[in-house]
Every structure is written in C-alpha cells, then in structure tokens.
Amino acid sequence: MRHFDEILALAAQHHGSPEAVLEKAVNAHAVADLTSVPDDRYLATMTRCVFNAGFNWKVIEAKWEGFEAAFEGFDPHKVAFMTDEDLDRLVSDERIVRHGAKIKSTLENARFIVAEAEAHGSFGAFLAGWPMGDQAGLLAHLGKHGSRLGGATGQYALRFSGYDAWITSRDVCAALVREGVLDEPKATSKSALKAVDEAFNELAEQSGQSRALISRVLALSVG
C-alpha cells in the first residue's frame, strides 16, 4: 500500500492541490466529544440511516419532522417501551414512511441504546470507549445487537453520529483494491473488514488524519 502522502497526491491529480483535497475531505459530521451527544440523537441517526437504505433520502428528509413526532423525539426509553399496539399504530401513521420492518427496527434499536447506556452511562460513552482501531469489531457489535445496522447502514450511522468512521463506498473499495488491501471492490467478510481496519490504522498513523478524512481522500484518489 502506498504512503498516505502518495495517495493524497493521486487525489490531487483529480481535484487540484493536496490542500484542496484535504479541504474537500473534511468530515462535516465529526464530533469531538461523543459523550456530549444525547442518546435520542443516536437513535434518530440510526433510524434515518435505516430508512434511507433502499429509499430516496429526499422522501425521508421531507417527512423527518413527522418521524420526530411519531417516535416521541426519539427518546430511547419511551421508544423502547412501545408495545405491539404502538407498532400497529405507527405502521398506519402517515407522518412517516410506513415500512413495518424498519419501524420495528427503531423500537429494537431503542432497546439496544438503552442497554448500552445502562452499561456505560450513555450510548456516547459506549462509542467513545470502543477502541478506535477496531471499527470492524464495532460494526460486528452493531450488527449483532442492533437492528438492520449491518453493512453500509452501520457505517453511515457511525459517521453521521459523529464517530470517526471509514465507509467502504464503491470508490473507497476501488482504491483499496488498487492498493492491494482488498482482492475485490467490496468488503463484507470479517477478513476483508479486518484488512480495511488495518489499512486505515496504518494510514492514520502515517498522516495523523482522521479515518473519516482518509476515507474521503481514498475515494477522491479514484477520480
């Protein structure tokens, strides 16, 4: 794999100077202190990402005020204790996208957040305490204990929540194939995700940059 500076130079060939690439690659969602984010915002972000998967995001955006109202401001404790009758009501609620399985996942993710908050003090504290070099392990944990948080959905949920997350987008995977990290332009197996983790850890150590920024630089280096 090339040094980060060489990958940055490749991106600069497509997008101007290295400084321009770094400016373009800044993560607008970064949060310095994950514990400062209320648990309801983590649930809201998870829900938005789950519903965005397979839907036009503009539809979800247009209805988001309705989502906030229907799910009690995404208060995890309130949502976690919603009943089957509440689920039936939500499936008929025209303020939101009426997708039964995804609505149910919000209730299940509320319970997941409550459980982690009880164990760690808050969901943000849980995220902050997870080893930074083990995003693959964190994604596995989200996939096992959360609902519909596997694959790209979990990665975007982490990024949009403020966690310093890499995302295995098409262009990122193409760059990682070019660099010999992946054998094919996707990362779904445990071994592939571990290889991605190791590559990002190496690039972060070389550059001192965030993993989210490195992710964007890799994507920009493709074209």
Distance CA 23, CA 128 (A): 26
Per-residue pLDDT of 7-44, as tens digits, reads: 999 999 999 999 999 999 999 999 999 999 999 999 99
The sign of the dihedral angle between the CA atoms of 110, 192, 181, 12 is negative
CA distances from 93 to 14, 73, 84, 96, 100 (A): 47, 15, 14, 6, 11
Domain count, the chain: 2
pLDDT of the chain along its 223 residues, tens only? Answer: 999 999 999 999 999 999 999 999 999 999 999 999 999 999 999 999 999 998 889 999 999 999 999 999 999 999 999 999 999 999 999 999 999 999 999 999 999 999 999 999 999 999 999 999 999 999 999 999 999 999 999 999 999 999 999 999 999 999 999 999 999 999 999 999 999 999 999 999 999 999 999 999 999 999 8
- Among the candidates 128, 161, 194, a domain finishes at 161
Q: Read off the CATH number of the domain in which 130 is found.
A: 1.10.340.30
Residues 90 and 113 in one domain: yes
Rg (CA), the chain: 18
90 lies in the same domain as 50: yes
- Domain ends where: 132, 161, 190? 161
Domain boundary among the residues 113, 130, 161 is at 161
Determine the pLDDT at residue 158.
Answer: 98
51, 136: one domain: yes
Residue 183 sits in the same domain as residue 85: no
Same domain, 53 and 126: yes
- For residues 84 and 190, membership in a common domain is answered with no
Token pair, residue 6, equals 């060489």
131 and 79 in a single domain? The answer is: yes
pLDDT at residue 223, rounded to an integer: 87
Question: Which domain covers residue 94, as residue numbers?
Answer: 34-161
- Does residue 12 share a domain with residue 79? no
- What predicted TM-score, i.e. pTM, was given to this entire model? 0.95
Residues 14 and 48 in one domain: no
Distance CA 147, CA 110 (A): 10
pLDDT for the residue numbered 182? 98
Identify the residue whose tokens are 């499936």.
Answer: 91
Same-domain check for residues 17 and 90: no
Query: Are 131 and 177 in a shared domain?
Result: no
Three-class HEC string of the chain: CCCHHHHHHHHHHHHCCHHHHHHHCCCCCCCCCHHHCCHHHHHHHHHHHHHHCCCCHHHHHHCHHHHHHHCHHHCHHHHHCCCHHHHHHHHCCCCCCCCHHHHHHHHHHHHHHHHHHHHHCCHHHHHHHCCCCCHHHHHHHHHHHCCCCCHHHHHHHHHHHCCCCCCCCHHHHHHHHHCCCCCCCCCCCHHHHHHHHHHHHHHHHHHCCCHHHHHHHHHHCCC
Same domain for 49 and 137?
yes
